[in-house]
Amino acid sequence: QVHLQESTPGLVKPLETLSLTCSVSGASMRSYYWSWIRQSPGGELEWIGNIYYSGSTKLNPSLKSRLTISIDTSKNQFTLRLTSVTAADTAKYYCASGVVSTYFESWGQGALVTVSS
């Protein structure tokens, strides 16, 4: 059973960089695709992107210019960095995994991120 746990950055100021780390247990990082998904205060889900253990990524085109997803298999972690954040980036951020890239079998509990000065 894959267990995922997001770090909790909490409050981020506008135009700064949001960084989130997902810690993975119960699974080999080589066996899954690792994803970030966010949920707006209104409840809509938005896929941010994914990464494979090789470092290969697929990123949401709407966020691509501000987005980096990286992986550290030695630490069983993968990381999201989103630059130049605005209030529109306020959301609950989930890390998730799947044996294929097309769906998400396991989810973290989510980390609430608020962008505000």
Partner 1 sequence: SFALTQPPSLSVAPGETASIHCGGDNIGSKGVQWYQQKPGLAPVLVIYYNVDRPSGIPERFSASNSGNTATLTITRVEVGDEAVYFCQVWQTTRDPVVVFGGGTKLTVL
In angstroms, rounded to a whole number, what is the distance separating the alpha carbons of residues 67 and 82? 5
Nearest approach in angstroms of CB 93 to partner 1 is 11
Contact pattern for partner 1 over residues 43 through 62, marking x by CB under 8 A: xxxxx----------x-xx-
Q: What is the DSSP string of 49-67?
A: EEE-TTS-EEE-TTTGGGE
Binding of residue 107 to partner 1 (CB under 8 A): yes
- Residue 14, sorted as left (phi over 0), alpha (psi -120 to 50) or beta, turns out to be beta
Nearest approach in angstroms of CB 4 to partner 1 is 9
Binding footprint of partner 1, residue count (CB under 8 A): 21
In angstroms, rounded to a whole number, what is the distance separating the alpha carbons of residues 7 and 104? 19
Q: What is the contact surface with partner 1 in residues (CB under 8 A)? A: 35, 37, 43-47, 58, 60-61, 64, 94, 101-105, 107-110
